Structure 1
Amino acid sequence: MTGKVTGIQPYGAFVALDDDTQGLVHISEITYGFVKDVSEFLSVGQEVEVKVLEIDEAAEKISLSIRALQERPAATRKKDAPPRKSLQDRVDESDANGFNSLKDKLQDWIEQSGH
């Protein structure tokens, strides 16, 4: 569905779908990735393709998304980065000061508190 940006706010952009209907594209629905400033991506008067996410008839609000019509970017990873270790590998590698000693520390704390 095509709409026209009618207003920009720090939290998103208002888009007119026709003469009587307007919805909001929340800042999180503009594009994949982090959007700090809506006006870096959209401008008043710009025509945009949007998808209707939700219609709240009671509140007379329409939630729109531009991002939903975009292809999700593939997860990027540095070629030289070592593979991440699983949680179990990290727990197994813990030393006496790490995660594995929590049970012992908890017992010490209980004894120190006098219970």
Structure 2
Amino acid sequence: MSFEVGQKVAGKVTGITHFGAFVSLPDNKTGLIHISEISDSYIKDINTVLTVGQEVEVKVLTIAADGKISLSLRQANEQAKPETTGRPKPAFNKENDRNYNKQPQSDQAPRFNKSSAAPSRSSYTPNQNNSPKKEGDFDSLMSGFLKDSEDRLSSLRRNTEGKRGGRGGRRS
């Protein structure tokens, strides 16, 4: 029997390790269920979910060139479950939401004080000389950006070289 990716196969758990469980498949093949493919929830110890000798139905995820077969117990069970028939999540409706247009209470202080805020991004100008923004093509904008960034990098290097003891730094 040759296996195909996506196929469901019955097998028997032959070994359990800290990273997964080995499953014996038909035709004397062996596959591995990685710990992440055993259950949807977190599993600290695989022995709490699987036992050696347990019959399981698994889905073939991948078949490597060297013959290693990757299996999933989680995906095999996921497709077998019927769709959940719980209540659908209600859509947002601003007419029915009581807090939609509600103003904050006057006794509650606002959490963000605009006067003490840092300048917004819109007030940032990349040129240090604050010259008016020039309209131009992409190349001129790029060359301006590169010049500005080189100026900033050189000033940073100048300021940090003395502190790290680099070229000609202070010696004590």
TM class by smaller structure:
0.5 to 0.7
Q: CA RMSD in A?
A: 3.6
Relative contact order, CA 8 A, sep 6+: which one is greater? 1
Partner of 1:39: 47
Instruction: From the superposition, tell whether residues 21 and 94 of structure 1 become closer, same or farther in structure 2 (CA, over 3 Å).
Output: farther
Query: 2:60 pairs with 52, 72, 81, which one?
Result: 52
Instruction: From the superposition, tell whether residues 47 and 8 of structure 1 become closer, same or farther in structure 2 (CA, over 3 Å).
Output: same
Partner of 2:72: 65
* Count of residue correspondences: 92
Query: 1:114 pairs with 150, 155, 161, which one?
Result: 155
Instruction: From the superposition, tell whether residues 68 and 94 of structure 1 become closer, same or farther in structure 2 (CA, over 3 Å).
Output: farther
TM-score, normalising length: structure 1: 0.63
Structure 1 residue ranges (4+ consecutive) displaced by more than 2 angstroms after TM superposition: 70-74, 93-97
TM-score, normalising length: structure 2: 0.43
Confirm or deny that 1:12 pairs with 2:20. yes
Which of 1 and 2 has greater Rg? 2
Q: Which runs of 5+ in 2 are unaligned?
A: 1-8, 85-111, 125-150, 157-172
Structure with greater strand share of residues: 1
Say whether the 8 Å CA contact 1:31–1:70 is kept in structure 2: no
Pairwise CA distance, 1:94: 9.5
Instruction: From the superposition, tell whether residues 19 and 36 of structure 1 become closer, same or farther in structure 2 (CA, over 3 Å).
Output: same
